[in-house]
Amino acid sequence: MRIGLFATCLGDTLFPDAVRATAILIARLGHEVVFPPGQTCCGQMHVNTGYQREPVPLVRKFAEQFGDPSIDAVVLPSGSCAGSVRHQHPLVAERYGDAALRDGVETVRAKTYELSELLVDVLGVTDVGAYFPHRVTYHPTCHSLRMLRVGDKPLRLLRAVDSIDLVELPEADACCGFGGTFAVKNADTSGAMLQDKVRNVLSTGADACTAGDSSCLMHIGGGLSRIRSGTRTLHLAQILASTRTSPHAFPKTEAATR
C-alpha cells in the first residue's frame, strides 16, 4: 500500500522521534511511506479554541495534500489530530468552505486513520514483530478513546510486543488535563488533573508511559519531568518500531552524559 504520513505540526517540530518511528514501522511492514511536503497542521488547535474561519486554508491544504487517489490510506500518529480530520474538517468545510472543499474533505477523511486503526483495521496486524524489554503502562488518550473509539486496539498491539512488561494504568480513562489551550487558559484545574495522572503512572512502576498522541504525552511528560520522577513518556509508535535488530534506545540527557 501507499500510505500517506501526516506528521502533525507538533510531531514534526517537537516530537520527530515518534513520527520517525511511525515511518519506520510502516516501511518495515512492507508499505511505501508517502510524505507530501506541503503538509503542516490540521487546525485542531484553532477549532478547539473557537476559531473556525481561520483554519479553512489548513483544512483545504490537508485535503489537497492527501487527496491524491494513489495514496491508499493516510496515517496520523495522533488520536486528536485524526479526530480533527474526521469530525472537525467536515464542520469547517460545511460552514466556511465551498462545494469543492466539502468534497475534498469527504474523500480524504474516509481514508484517514490513527496509527492503531491503520495497523489493526487496515493492515490487519496486531503483532508487528516488535521487541521492547521494559515495563510500560498505557494511557488511552481521550480523543482516541471517545472520539475515534479505537477501543483496545493499542493494547492488543502492545500485548503482542515481545518481552514487554505491560502494566495496567489505574483510572486509565481519566483525562490527563491537557485539552490544548485548556492547559493554558485553565492551568490550575489542568494541573490538578495532571497530578492525579502522574500519581497513577508512578504507581505502576513503569519505565515508560505510552500513548497514541504526542500532545497528551507532552503534558504527562512535562509533569513527570518537573518532579524528576525518572519515568519517561514514549509514543506507541516508538515501542512498535523497536525490534531485536534495532532496539529502542532511551535517549540520554546531557546531564547523564556529562
In the set 122, 167, 202, 218, which binds other proteins (CB under 8 A)? 218
Q: Rule CB under 8 A: which of 92-131 touch other proteins?
A: 124-131
Say whether residue 163 binds other proteins (CB under 8 A): no
Beta bridge partners of 233: 209
Say whether residue 2 binds other proteins (CB under 8 A): no
Say whether residue 11 binds other proteins (CB under 8 A): yes
Say whether residue 185 binds other proteins (CB under 8 A): yes
CA-to-CA distance for 202 and 200, rounded, in angstroms? 5
> Pick from 87, 71, 101, 67: which is nearest to 2 by CA?
71
Q: Are 209 and 220 in contact (CB under 8 A)?
A: yes
Say whether residue 168 binds other proteins (CB under 8 A): no
Interface with other proteins (CB under 8 A), residue total: 93
Residue pointed to by grid coordinates 535517549: 251
Piece of the chain touching other proteins by CB under 8 A; list 67-75, 103-111, 145-153, 200-208 = 145-153
CA-to-CA distance for 81 and 89, rounded, in angstroms? 10
Say whether residue 52 binds other proteins (CB under 8 A): yes
Say whether residue 230 binds other proteins (CB under 8 A): no
Q: In what order do the strands lie in the sheet with 165-167?
A: 165-167, 135-138, 208-211, 232-235
Say whether residue 19 binds other proteins (CB under 8 A): yes
Say whether residue 142 binds other proteins (CB under 8 A): yes
Piece of the chain touching other proteins by CB under 8 A; list 51-59, 66-74, 110-118, 203-211 = 51-59
Say whether residue 223 binds other proteins (CB under 8 A): yes
CA 27 remoteness from chain centre: 18
Strands 73-76 and 112-114: parallel
